[in-house]
């Protein structure tokens, strides 16, 4: 991979903004949806209230702050690769009114590649330090949780940079695993284990990043095909991609339904999640019946946030003994 794009003429910055705001754009801090799992974990461990300690709260704060650092590094490196191979220049073309070029500081010309790389390194180091602090402060340190966190750290940094794992497939699987690990690891640090109900919620949380990611991939299919990034949207036809995303919607519902049916989750859990299921269906119709992919992508964030609220409510009901 050469740096020919990065070495060529740079796009002019459209407007001046503070460096802090520009780096926040590079780190995608406005996409806070990856970090909402902390509220699910908090609701799952907070009962009985008298047993929740300041130490527990500190672990959650440190782990969440570390997650921000690790994910900022991941998305910054993704932007570097997308800028260098030209895919972001294609997907965020000046005539594309649906994609704000300012969200990509390298494309907008407000940052250089060396600046982005320095930011990624600093974010990764900070994230690793905060995760280490969370582990050292935690009341439990199960080996499998430490391995999961370590694997997520390594894979995140190699996702689009270095080994470029996302350029070899399985991008969709990684997005689910990313969300799930951000739930199960902090829960394990506080409790020493996990339950079937917690694992169900972790998987559903992981579907959040997946289900706005696949709509982004649908919109970015031309750029991804041009650089050989094998997303499902890039590898299949439009109909095949639509069938794949419909199957993901059905799978998401079935995870909750099977958990309720088998006792892994309360029997009422699948009913509690129906508003999210209905909004997910609306998202699919918007994208593949009405043909408005970018509006459907934005709806994906609303579905994810609603799902988190419903799962927090489920944990409160169970923890408070209102429903079991």
Which pLDDT belongs to residue 130? 98
Pick out the chain residues at pLDDT < 70: 1-16, 93-100, 324
d(CA 240, CA 206) in angstroms, rounded, equals 23
d(CA 166, CA 174): 9
The pLDDT tens digits for 307-322 are: 999 999 999 999 888 7
Judge if pTM exceeds 0.85.
Answer: yes
At residue 9, the pLDDT reads 41
* pLDDT at residue 2 in the model: 36
Cα 127 to chain centroid distance, Å, stands at: 16
> Cis before residue 180, ω within 30 degrees of 0?
no
pLDDT digits (tens, 9 = 90+) for 286-310: 999 999 999 999 999 999 999 999 9
Closest CA to 3 of 86, 119, 121: 86
């Amino acid at each position: 991979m050469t740096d020919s794009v990065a070495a060529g003429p740079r796009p002019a910055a459209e407007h001046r903004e503070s460096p802090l705001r520009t780096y926040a754009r590079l780190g995608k801090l406005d996409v806070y949806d990856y970090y909402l799992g902390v509220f699910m974990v908090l609701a799952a461990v907070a009962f009985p209230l008298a047993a929740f300690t300041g130490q527990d709260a500190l672990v959650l704060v440190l782990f969440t702050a570390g997650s921000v650092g690790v994910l900022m590094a991941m998305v910054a490196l993704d932007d570097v690769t997308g800028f260098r191979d030209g895919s972001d220049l294609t997907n965020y073309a000046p005539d594309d009114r649906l994609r704000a070029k300012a969200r990509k500081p390298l494309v907008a010309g407000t940052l250089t590649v060396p600046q982005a790389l320095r930011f990624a390194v600093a974010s990764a180091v900070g994230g690793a330090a905060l995760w280490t602090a969370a582990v050292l402060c935690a009341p439990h340190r199960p080996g499998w949780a430490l391995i999961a966190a370590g694997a997520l750290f390594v894979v995140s940094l190699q996702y689009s940079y270095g080994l470029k794992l996302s350029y070899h497939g399985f991008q969709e699987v990684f997005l689910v695993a990313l969300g799930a690990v951000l739930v199960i690891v902090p829960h394990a640090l506080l409790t020493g284990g996990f339950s079937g109900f917690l694992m169900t919620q972790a998987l559903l949380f992981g579907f959040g990043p997946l289900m706005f990611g696949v709509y982004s991939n649908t919109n970015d299919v031309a750029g991804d095909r041009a650089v050989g990034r094998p997303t499902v949207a890039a590898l299949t036809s439009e109909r095949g991609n639509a069938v794949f995303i419909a199957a993901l919607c059905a799978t998401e519902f079935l995870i909750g339904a099977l958990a309720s049916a088998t006792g892994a989750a309360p029997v009422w859990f699948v009913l509690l999640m129906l508003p999210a299921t209905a909004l997910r269906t609306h998202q699919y119709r918007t994208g593949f019946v009405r043909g408005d992919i970018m509006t459907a992508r934005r709806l994906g964030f609303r579905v994810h946030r609603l799902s988190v609220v419903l799962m927090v409510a489920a944990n409160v009901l169970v923890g408070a003994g209102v429903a079991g």
